[in-house]
């Protein structure tokens, strides 16, 4: 059977030490060059999924195919060295007795014959800004530098599939975004299909063509980053993303609902609910607008300055805490215990309820 | 993938099982019939054996603790004249095996010995023999073993002191503790696992000691095993005695392993490691610290060295009579061959454990490193017992020629038993090296397209190169000093410096024993000096 997808992982289960490590995971990468980000908290199986794909763990059931070739199933397990899949580990996995340059060049030995894609040492060194550490040994460089060197070694192999496990977790925040931009550019240019595991949702939303949310060893949602953020498919995903709260509301018409504290809320439901249904409405910080003239005033209990914006936490009469996003150029700031106006009528572009 | 039963797994398993042969043999021989010697001995000497072994053990432990911990404390925390020199000079005592120390002690203090000669030269003729103390018998054995082995406690205690956080020391000061109170309330308890590990090694070596106790005619369990085989030709009884000794030694082995694991916490403190500033001693304190360390250095190394040198110069004919070149070649031959075999198979076994990650293999590997705890006498006799059984029960039943000559009294047999005895040294040394290689390094290698064999050859071996060199030096040091296995299993007319010294001494020709002893000390000291940096762990800082 010819599979049209570039990569497929179907119903994969993996157990170790009597425990479920990966539970019935399935997703596909349609096109070569796509970047997939797997997002989830620590210790729930993200890395294990990468290890099964790399062939470092043998799956108990399901199948993994790459480029139409079955590489893993219960019976078949192509050895890692024969898969042409590269994995950059989160922790330092550089060869300790070789310099950074030698480490990277060991990666270059693979796929030497691939002439259509070319990535020189210089390009990769510039990309990741590691020229100054080329002659150093792994123990002489910082964790962030080691991670970039490891990433360079994986990139230079130009594999069929590149797996990156928290590739920038140790990189300084100030430098991280720049590296993310460069990484995305080079992956797109070389059309290297990549799966990135991260717990940083901003990183996932920026880099990923698609994002998967992994919770409790399972893939809970797999979709475009925008949809994952704005249309989470379960309360678990909402709780994990932690970008909003759920408040009780009653559906009053096909485009309105009513909340005890906020009054009428209008917008487009992404899923139909019968009139009169009691639901949990997802309220994200950017859903409410600030308006000093509004008669709907709530008490400020906290204010977080985030550089580009403020996040106010407001307390409703029924003691629900609601986050509200305000641009940081907002002229006057509201102190804790002051009243804060919310613009009415409340309009939410897409209404997500559970 | 990692749980596969691959060729590495089977190779590792075979190596581990081979090393376990003596233990199986001793335990299985426990129920064999013995001669009347057993009854005779049970009623007469057995209590004496156990009593002597216990007295020896207890005394050596107390003395090595005091000397080893005391000297380690001084050189780790204080600055006094030559303190940096003593730091490594104190480990030179390893170059002097207990039996050579015993010869030196006797040679110096015996009637008309070196002490007498010195007094005569200084003060003229006189009846000095009565005034010169005699360090022989049990006391002599205790001193010989103590000065030869205290370095185990010194090295481990010093390493523990070295890695103690300065914060801990500062805490003591903060609480207003005196130096002495800081020592016994903070420093000593923190180093306890390391000290216990060192004392356990001393205990195992003491129980295994053969040369010195035999020279002083002290009947211990180890000499009992040797005699029951040599004098009464009773292998079964030798094995029965070994069984009792082994039970005791295994308890020590477990204690040592548990302590060693705990000791690791002190060596691996991550972050916050602050180089301790040594306290500069002055006046009387400085003088006494210097005298204490100098006395230990002198007594443990200079004294036997000078005594052997003195006799070599005084009786130069022994130097010319000795086939030095032959002995050197024989010794080096055994050293090179054994080191090569040990390192090669230990590497394979370690790699097998790493890639197989199999619980059964792990258990066998852990058991197989117990070889170092088993006295050489027991190993040699157990090996002979096993070969005899194999020959009688298996080989001859197939109508094949006897294999005894191939394994007993041959270089092959000797190297095989050395292999069993020193396997743990090589295995653990390589394991320590491997522990520094994160498993993700292997996985990265596979993902770069390297096979297991290529990963082993191109990634692991180059990384472990320095460790392997150090392990080879340690093995060499052990083999040069080793006595009972060589004595029992060496081919006819094949002598080393150790056996030549022993034979001369046992024939009461101590002067003749001086020359091979001197060579042995010098070669061993050379190996210690070139590896002192690793032994003292100064490079780990």
For residue A275, the 8-state DSSP code is T
8 Å CB contact of A80 and B1: yes
The mean-pLDDT minimum among A113-117, A120-124, B94-98, B328-332 falls in A113-117
Can you read off the two tokens belonging to residue B27? 């335990």
pLDDT at position B413? 92
pLDDT at position B143? 95
A87 contacts in chain B (CB < 8 Å): 443-444, 447
> Three-state SS across B395-431?
HHHHCCCCCHHHHCCCHHHHHHHHHHHHHHHHHHHHH
> Three-state SS across A208-272?
CCEEEEEECCEEEEEECHHHHHHCCCCHHHHHHHCCCEEEEEEEEECCEEEECCCEEEEEEECCC
Chain B, 359 to 398: residues with Cβ < 8 Å from chain A are none
The mean-pLDDT minimum among A169-178, A254-263, B170-179, B371-380 falls in B170-179
pLDDT at position B31? 67
Given B444, B450, B459, which is nearest A89 (Cβ)? B444
Chain B, 422 to 441: residues with Cβ < 8 Å from chain A are 436-438, 440-441
Q: What is the pLDDT of residues A310-327, one digit of tens each?
A: 889 999 988 889 999 988
Can you read off the two tokens belonging to residue B414? 């000797």
* Residue B381 or B79, more confident: B79
* Residue B438 or A354, more confident: A354
B440 contacts in chain A (CB < 8 Å): 89, 91-93
State the fold for domain A244-351: OB fold (Dihydrolipoamide Acetyltransferase, E2P) (2.40.50)
Residue B265 has pLDDT above 60, yes or no: no
Given B437, B447, B462, which is nearest A85 (Cβ)? B447
pLDDT band of B268, cuts 50, 70, 90 = very low
User: Which residues have CB under 8 Å from A120's CB, separation 6+?
Assistant: none
Q: Which residue of B has its CA nearest to A57?
A: B1
pLDDT at position A309? 87
The domain over range A7-238 is classified in CATH as 3.40.50.300: yes
8 Å CB contact of B440 and A55: no
Q: B536 vs A139, B361, B387, B530, CA distance in Å?
A: 22, 32, 40, 12
Question: Is the four-CA dihedral A178, A183, A184, A189 of positive or negative sign?
Answer: positive
Residue A9 has pLDDT above 90, yes or no: yes
Q: Which residue of A has its CA nearest to B453?
A: A81
| Beta strand ranges found along B138-212 (DSSP E) | none
pLDDT band of B102, cuts 50, 70, 90 = very high
Residue B116 has pLDDT above 60, yes or no: yes
Q: What is the pLDDT of residues B435-493, one digit of tens each?
A: 878 888 899 999 888 888 889 888 899 888 888 888 888 889 889 988 889 988 999 88
Q: What percent of chain A has pLDDT over 90?
A: 34
pLDDT band of B270, cuts 50, 70, 90 = very low
8 Å CB contact of B443 and A87: yes
Which of the listed ranges A93-107, A298-312, B282-296, B448-462 does the model predict with the highest average pLDDT? Answer: B282-296
What number of C-beta contacts closer than 8 Å exist between A and B?
70
pLDDT at position A279? 93
pLDDT at position B141? 95
pLDDT at position A112? 66
Average pLDDT of chain B to the nearest whole number: 83
Q: What is the pLDDT of residues A275-320, one digit of tens each?
A: 999 999 999 888 988 888 888 899 999 988 888 888 899 999 888 8
Chain A, 103 to 122: residues with Cβ < 8 Å from chain B are 106-107, 109-110
Given A81, A96, A157, which is nearest B446 (Cβ)? A81
CA distance A149 to A98: 12
A143 contacts in chain B (CB < 8 Å): none
Q: How many CB atoms lie within 10 A of CB A264?
A: 15
Residue B3 has pLDDT above 80, yes or no: no
Q: What is the pLDDT of residues B127-142, one digit of tens each?
A: 888 888 888 889 999 9
Q: How many residues does chain A have?
A: 354
Q: What is the mean pLDDT of residues B297-305?
A: 94
8 Å CB contact of A95 and B459: yes
Query: A294 and A342 in contact (C-beta within 8 Å)?
Result: yes
Query: B50 and B402 in contact (C-beta within 8 Å)?
Result: no
Query: Which DSSP string do the residues of B257-321 spell out, in sequence order?
Result: HHHHHHHHHHHT--S---PPPPEEP-HHHHHHHHHHHHHHHIIIIIHHHHHHHHHHHH-HHHHHH
Q: Which domains does chain B have, with CATH numbers?
A: 1-21+324-494 (1.10.3720.10), 45-319 (1.10.3720.10)
Q: What percent of chain A has pLDDT over 70?
A: 96
Residue B41 has pLDDT above 90, yes or no: no
Q: What is the mean pLDDT of residues A47-64?
A: 91
Q: What is the pLDDT of residues B81-93, one digit of tens each?
A: 999 899 889 999 9
8 Å CB contact of B444 and A87: yes
Q: What is the mean pLDDT of residues B351-373?
A: 79
Q: What is the mean pLDDT of residues B149-157?
A: 89
CA distance B153 to B202: 8
Residue B417 has pLDDT above 60, yes or no: yes
Residue A115 has pLDDT above 60, yes or no: no
pLDDT at position B92? 92
pLDDT band of B124, cuts 50, 70, 90 = confident
8 Å CB contact of B443 and A54: yes
Given B1, B436, B451, which is nearest A56 (Cβ)? B1
Among the listed residues A9, A15, A27, A18, the one whose alpha carbon sits nearest the alpha carbon of residue A213:
A27
The three-class DSSP label of residue A8 is strand
The three-class DSSP label of residue B84 is helix
Residue A232 has pLDDT above 50, yes or no: yes
∠ Cα A279 A283 A285 (to 5°): 175
Among the listed residues A14, A69, A21, the one whose alpha carbon sits nearest the alpha carbon of residue A43:
A21
pLDDT band of A136, cuts 50, 70, 90 = very high
pLDDT at position A214? 92
pLDDT band of B541, cuts 50, 70, 90 = very low
Given B2, B451, B463, which is nearest A81 (Cβ)? B451
Q: Which residue of A has its CA nearest to B434?
A: A96
Q: Is A21 on the interface with B (CB under 8 A)?
A: no
Q: Is A79 on the interface with B (CB under 8 A)?
A: yes
B461: closest CA of chain A, how far (Å): 10
Q: What is the mean pLDDT of residues B235-261?
A: 73
Residue A252 has pLDDT above 50, yes or no: yes
Q: What is the pLDDT of residues B206-237, one digit of tens each?
A: 888 888 998 998 988 888 887 777 777 777 77
pLDDT at position B162? 79
Mutate to test the interface with B, among A54, A60, A75, A106 (most CBs of B within 10 A): A106
Q: Which residue of B has its CA nearest to A56?
A: B1
B467: closest CA of chain A, how far (Å): 13
B449 contacts in chain A (CB < 8 Å): 81-82, 84, 109-110
The mean-pLDDT minimum among A95-109, A201-215, B13-27, B326-340 falls in B13-27
Q: Which residue of B has its CA nearest to A163?
A: B447
pLDDT at position B267? 42
8 Å CB contact of B448 and A89: no
Q: What is the mean pLDDT of residues A316-344?
A: 85
What are the sequence ranges of the domains in chain A?
7-238, 244-351
Q: Is B463 on the interface with A (CB under 8 A)?
A: yes
Helix (H) or strand (E) holding A10: strand A7-16
Residue B434 has pLDDT above 60, yes or no: yes
Among the listed residues A19, A10, A18, the one whose alpha carbon sits nearest the alpha carbon of residue A53:
A10
For residue B526, the 8-state DSSP code is H
Query: Burial, B121: exposed, middle or buried (Cβ in 10 Å; 0-12, 13-18, 19+)?
Result: exposed
Helix (H) or strand (E) holding A108: helix A100-108
pLDDT at position B537? 60
Q: What is the pLDDT of residues A167-184, one digit of tens each?
A: 888 888 888 888 889 889
Q: Which residue of B has its CA nearest to A58?
A: B1
Q: Which residue of A has its CA nearest to B436?
A: A96
8 Å CB contact of A95 and B436: no
Q: What is the mean pLDDT of residues A8-34?
A: 89
pLDDT at position A135? 93
Q: Is A202 on the interface with B (CB under 8 A)?
A: no
8 Å CB contact of B441 and A96: yes
Helix (H) or strand (E) holding B199: helix B188-208
pLDDT at position B260? 62
Q: What is the mean pLDDT of residues B498-503?
A: 91
């Amino acid at each position: 059977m010819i599979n049209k997808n570039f990569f497929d992982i179907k119903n994969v289960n993996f157990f170790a030490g009597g425990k479920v490590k990966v539970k019935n995971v399935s997703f596909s990468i349609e096109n070569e060059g796509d970047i997939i980000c797997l997002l989830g908290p620590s210790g729930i199986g993200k890395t294990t999924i990468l290890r099964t794909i790399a062939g470092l763990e043998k799956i108990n059931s399901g199948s993994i195919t790459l480029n139409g070739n079955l590489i893993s199933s219960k019976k078949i397990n192509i050895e890692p060295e024969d898969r042409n899949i590269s994995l950059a580990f989160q922790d330092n996995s550089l060869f300790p007795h070789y310099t950074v340059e030698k480490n990277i060049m060991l990666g270059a030995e693979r796929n030497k014959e691939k002439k259509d894609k070319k990535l020189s040492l210089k390009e990769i060194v510039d990309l990741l800004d590691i020229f100054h550490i080329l002659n150093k040994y792994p123990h002489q460089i910082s964790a962030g530098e080691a991670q970039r060197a490891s990433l360079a070694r994986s990139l230079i192999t130009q594999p069929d599939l590149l797996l990156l496990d928290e590739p920038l977790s140790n990189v300084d925040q100030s430098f991280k975004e720049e590296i993310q931009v460069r990484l995305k550019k080079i992956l797109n240019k070389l059309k290297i299909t990549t799966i990135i595991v991260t717990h940083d949702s901003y990183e996932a939303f920026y880099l990923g063509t698609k994002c998967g949310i992994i919770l409790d060893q399972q893939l809970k949602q797999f979709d475009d980053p925008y949809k994952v953020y704005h249309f989470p498919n379960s309360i678990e995903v909402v709780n994990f993303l932690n970008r909003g709260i759920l408040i009780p509301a009653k559906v009053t018409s096909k485009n309105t609902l009513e909340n005890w504290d906020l009054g009428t809320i209008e917008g487009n439901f992404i899923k139909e609910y019968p009139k009169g249904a009691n639901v949990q409405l997802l309220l994200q910080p950017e859903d409410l607008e600030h308006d000093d003239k509004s008669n709907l005033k709530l008490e400020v209990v906290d204010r977080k300055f985030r550089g580009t914006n403020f996040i106010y936490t407001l307390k409703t009469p029924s003691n629900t805490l609601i986050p509200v996003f305000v641009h940081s150029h907002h002229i006057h700031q509201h102190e804790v215990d002051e009243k804060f106006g919310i613009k009415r009528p409340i309009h939410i572009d897409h209404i997500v309820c559970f | 993938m990692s749980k596969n039963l691959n060729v590495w797994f089977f190779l590792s398993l075979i190596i581990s099982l081979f090393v376990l042969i003596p233990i199986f043999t001793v335990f299985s021989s426990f129920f064999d019939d013995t001669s009347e010697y057993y009854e005779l001995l049970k009623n007469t000497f057995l209590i004496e054996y156990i009593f002597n072994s216990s007295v020896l053990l207890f005394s050596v432990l107390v003395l090595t603790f005091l000397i080893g911990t005391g000297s380690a404390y001084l050189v780790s925390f204080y600055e006094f004249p030559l303190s940096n020199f003593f730091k490594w000079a104190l480990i030179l005592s390893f170059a002097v095996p207990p039996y050579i120390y015993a010869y030196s002690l006797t040679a110096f203090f015996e009637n008309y010995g070196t002490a007498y000669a010195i007094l005569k030269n200084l003060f003229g003729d006189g009846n000095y023999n009565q005034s010169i103390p005699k360090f022989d018998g049990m006391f002599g054995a205790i001193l010989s073993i103590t000065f030869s082995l205290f370095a185990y406690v010194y090295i481990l205690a010093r390493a523990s002191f070295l890695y103690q956080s300065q914060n801990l020391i500062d805490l003591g000061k903060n609480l207003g503790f005196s130096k002495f109170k800081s020592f016994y309330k903070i420093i000593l308890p923190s180093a306890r696992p390391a000290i216990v590990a060192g004392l356990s090694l001393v205990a195992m070596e003491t129980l295994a000691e053969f040369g010195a106790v035999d020279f002083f005619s002290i009947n211990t369990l180890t000499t009992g095993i040797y005699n029951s085989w040599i004098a009464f030709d009773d292998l079964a009884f030798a094995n029965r005695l070994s069984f009792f000794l082994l039970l005791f030694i295994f308890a020590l082995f477990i204690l040592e392993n548990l302590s060693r694991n705990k000791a690791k916490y002190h060596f691996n403190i991550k972050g916050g490691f602050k180089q301790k500033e040594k306290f500069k001693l002055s006046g009387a304190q400085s003088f006494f610290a210097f005298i204490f360390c100098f006395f230990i250095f002198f007594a443990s190394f200079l004294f036997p060295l000078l005594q052997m040198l003195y006799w070599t110069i005084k009786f130069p004919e022994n130097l010319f009579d000795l086939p030095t070149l032959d002995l050197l070649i024989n010794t080096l031959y055994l050293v090179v061959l054994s080191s090569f075999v040990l390192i090669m198979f230990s590497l394979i076994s370690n790699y097998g454990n790493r890639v197989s990650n199999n619980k059964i293999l792990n258990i066998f590997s852990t058991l197989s490193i117990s070889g170092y705890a088993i006295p050489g006498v027991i190993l040699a006799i157990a090996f002979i017992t096993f070969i005899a059984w194999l020959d009688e029960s298996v080989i001859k039943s197939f109508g094949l020629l006897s294999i005894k000559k191939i394994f007993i009294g041959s270089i092959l047999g000797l190297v095989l038993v050395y292999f069993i005895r020193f396997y743990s040294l090589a295995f653990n040394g390589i394991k320590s090296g491997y522990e520094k290689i994160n498993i993700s390094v292997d996985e990265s290698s596979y993902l770069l397209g390297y096979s297991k064999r290529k990963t082993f050859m191109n990634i692991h071996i180059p990384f472990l190169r320095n460790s392997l060199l150090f392990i080879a030096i340690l093995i060499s040091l052990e083999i040069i000093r080793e006595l009972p296995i060589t004595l029992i299993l060496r081919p006819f007319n094949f002598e080393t410096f150790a056996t030549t010294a022993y034979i001369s001494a046992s024939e009461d020709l101590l002067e003749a024993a001086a020359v091979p002893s001197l060579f042995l000390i010098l070669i061993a000291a050379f190996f210690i000096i070139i590896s002192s940096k690793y032994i003292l762990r100064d490079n780990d800082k």
